[in-house]
Amino acid sequence: MSKNINRMFFALIIITSSLMPAGCNDGVAAKQVTADQPVVVNTPALQLNGLLATKDLSVGINRISFLLTSPNALVTAPSVNVESVFLGAPGVVQESVVAEFFLWPLGSRGSYVTELSFDRSGDWRLDVDVLQHDGSIDSALIPLSIAERTVIPAIGSKPPMRTNKTSREISELKFLTTRSIPDPDLYGLTIEEAIETKKPLLIVFASPAFCSSPTCGPQVETVEILKDMYKGRVNFIHVEIYDNPEEVHENISQAKFAPIIDAWGFTELKDYRNGSWVFIIGSDGKITSKYEGYAAREELQNGLENVLYPENN
């Protein structure tokens, strides 16, 4: 739904409300509009709540993920319209895009995903419009803060070469991951070794059994599926968030982050606990895409296809 249609919709409401007697706004908020003289008009109240799932955002192109909820349920419309507004210039729309809905594993929750480019740091806002079946539009406003640069390795950069543990030096996989049934193929290489093969690389950082969200285990499962699909063409690595997974299983209070988690900057994120991240690295050793929070198989497939077949982009 384009913003022009949205504005036409609001304009019809304004015209209709001008014909109604005073006091008949039925709970709709009043808004001041600047003209020769201030005029009070009626606009629809916000019906939706937005929850930002991606917090490490910086100047440049960013993957944005968010959830929408209505008073009664999670919003699952196939797509929604998103506009970015820089709050230092109120009312000026910087970019308008469509966000697509991706259902999370187990089918109970999901999020909207899109890409937006921010040309400056500071406070921004996402204006999200959802077209309802009856033709009406519900909206949500999502505030976000854009930093000058990300604390996590940026797209186009080479990742830190801090060594991750592998199955060659660790006798049992339970000492490498909190995953209940680990896939040994994800623990055979260090990141440096994988990059030296000149094949694309997908790395998932997650604690499958002790994540702060319900998506870390499913994220690793998704990566395992992709590993089988791209076997021989792409290297895949799972890095456990915790350095002592076997002790974490016995007592979570003993948990300590693996040194590589500090090296990649995760612990510098505000309120970071143990959320999942996925990175795709090209054959040149540079990061081509990164995904904070759950990334659906379709998203990751697109990222892999982009590095495997750049000529098709």
pLDDT band at 13 (very low <50, low <70, confident <90, very high): very low
Question: What pLDDT shows up at residue 185?
Answer: 97
- Residue 93 DSSP SS3: strand
pLDDT band at 250 (very low <50, low <70, confident <90, very high): confident
What average pLDDT score do residues 101-127 get?
92
Eight-class DSSP state of 58? B
Question: What pLDDT shows up at residue 23?
Answer: 33
**Higher-confidence position of 243 and 109:** 243
The model's pTM is 0.82
Eight-class DSSP state of 25? -
Share of the chain above pLDDT 70, in %: 85
Taking 80 as the threshold, does the pLDDT of residue 11 lie above it?
no
pLDDT in tens, 209-242: 888 777 899 999 999 999 999 999 999 999 999 9
pLDDT band at 53 (very low <50, low <70, confident <90, very high): very high
Taking 60 as the threshold, does the pLDDT of residue 59 lie above it?
yes
- CB proximity list for 155: less than 8 A, separation 6 or greater: 60, 61, 287, 288, 289, 290
Taking 60 as the threshold, does the pLDDT of residue 27 lie above it?
no
What gap in Å lies between CA 250 and CA 107, rounded to an integer? Answer: 30
Q: CB under 8 Å, gap of 24 or more: what pairs does 51-54 form?
A: 51/142, 52/126, 52/142, 52/144, 53/111, 53/292, 53/293, 53/294, 54/292, 54/293
- CB proximity list for 288: less than 8 A, separation 6 or greater: 155, 200, 280, 281, 282, 303, 306, 307
Question: Across all residues in the chain, what is the average pLDDT?
Answer: 85
Most trustworthy range by pLDDT among 52-56, 91-95, 114-118, 267-271: 114-118
Question: What pLDDT shows up at residue 32?
Answer: 32
pLDDT band at 116 (very low <50, low <70, confident <90, very high): very high
pLDDT band at 147 (very low <50, low <70, confident <90, very high): very high
Taking 70 as the threshold, does the pLDDT of residue 113 lie above it?
yes
Question: What pLDDT shows up at residue 25?
Answer: 32
Question: Looking at the chain, which runs of residues are DSSP E strands?
Answer: 30-33, 39-42, 49-52, 60-69, 79-86, 93-103, 110-118, 122-131, 137-146, 201-206, 235-240, 277-281, 287-292
Structure tokens at 121: 């740091």
Taking 60 as the threshold, does the pLDDT of residue 194 lie above it?
yes
Taking 60 as the threshold, does the pLDDT of residue 262 lie above it?
yes
